[in-house]
Amino acid sequence: MATSTVLGVLEGLLELPVHPVFVHFPIAMLTVTWGLVVVHYWSGSAAVDRLVAPFEWIGVGFLPVVILTGFRDAEWLEFILEVEWDQPLIWHFIVSLTASVVFAVHVFWRWRRRTDGEGRWVDLGLTTAGFWLLVVTGLIAGEMVYG
């Protein structure tokens, strides 16, 4: 009796969504990344500039976990194999992957290139695009969860 109750509870826990546990961490880190890039160009502070990389690497490092748990909660590939364009999930998937690619490209670009001169527009452009794509990802998620 006790064993079956414990197994039942464990089974119930495994069925819970796991994606929401992880999503907020990269959203926070990458939002701070964008804020730091903006403040760096506004203030010219080298100290602020040095903070960008740690925040962005941690944020980007968490994205594979977020994407993997998203697929798990979406029951893997069914929503792609039987795509319904009027459902928010497919748009959440497309916009979130685009945001992830933008930040991944940016973090490697910043690592390899100088950010002064013309580079500042790439720096500001990619992080601004990535941030707003994350906002749209969250808005679509809101429609999925609460809509």
Q: Figure out which of the listed residues 34, 55, 62, 93 binds ligand HEM, where binding follows CB under 6 A.
A: 93
Would you call 41 exposed, middle or buried from its count of C-beta atoms within 10 A (0-12, 13-18, 19+)? middle
145 binds ligand HEM (CB under 6 A): yes
17 binds ligand HEM (CB under 6 A): yes
3-state secondary structure of 64: helix
Binding mask 41-60 for ligand HEM (x = CB under 6 A): --------------------
| Residues 96 to 115 in contact with ligand HEM, rule: CB under 6 A | 96-97, 99-100
Give the distance from CA 13 to its chain's centroid: 24
Extract the runs of DSSP E, i.e. beta strands, from 5-138.
none
Would you call 117 exposed, middle or buried from its count of C-beta atoms within 10 A (0-12, 13-18, 19+)? exposed
- Cα–Cα separations (whole angstroms), residue 124 to 33, 75, 117: 11, 36, 12
The region of 4-12, 34-42, 87-95, 112-120 touching ligand HEM under the rule CB under 6 A is 87-95
Write the single-letter amino acid at 70: G
Query: Smaller CB distance to ligand HEM: residue 19 or 120?
Result: 19
**Binding footprint of ligand HEM on the chain (CB under 6 A):** 17, 19-20, 23, 27, 63, 66-67, 70-71, 73-74, 89, 92-93, 96-97, 99-100, 134, 137-138, 141, 144-145
